[in-house]
Amino acid sequence: MDFFISNAYAADGAAAETNPYFLPIMLVVFGLFFYFMIMRPQQKRAKAHRELMAAISKGDEVLTNGGLIGRVSKVNENGYIVLELNDTTEVVIKRDFITSVLPKGTMKSL
């Protein structure tokens, strides 16, 4: 019956040695990858959004997160903006909810 089961023999020599610096090097590589692929682009987007919020002024046509398109009629110092949706309707929103500033004349073309 020995021909069905092969004999197991111990390996010759010592176990293969690994580089002791392999783990720290891999952690640094993964950290750099995480920074350049995730953190840095997110920081750039946040910086661009902050600059957009600071540049909003009266008369700009903007798009909000909720899909409203309106003209800025008043900018308050406490972080709120009054949007004029049409001649009779005004909405007060927080400055952070503005997604983008649209080119002049966008509201008339819609």
Q: Which CATH number characterizes residue 92's domain?
A: 2.30.30.140
Does a structural domain hold residue 28?
Answer: yes
pTM of the model: 0.66
The answer for residues whose C-beta is within 8 angstroms of residue 100's C-beta and 6 or more apart is 52, 62, 63
Q: What is the pLDDT of residues 19-44, one digit of tens each?
A: 888 889 999 999 999 999 999 999 99
**Angle ∠(57,46,97) on CA atoms, nearest 5:** 50
Please check whether residues 33 and 80 belong to one and the same domain. Answer: no
Q: What is the pLDDT of residues 75-109, one digit of tens each?
A: 998 889 999 999 899 999 999 899 999 998 888 88
Please check whether residues 82 and 105 belong to one and the same domain. Answer: yes
Please check whether residues 76 and 104 belong to one and the same domain. Answer: yes
Please check whether residues 33 and 77 belong to one and the same domain. Answer: no
Host domain of residue 37: 19-55
**DSSP reduced 3-state for 62:** strand
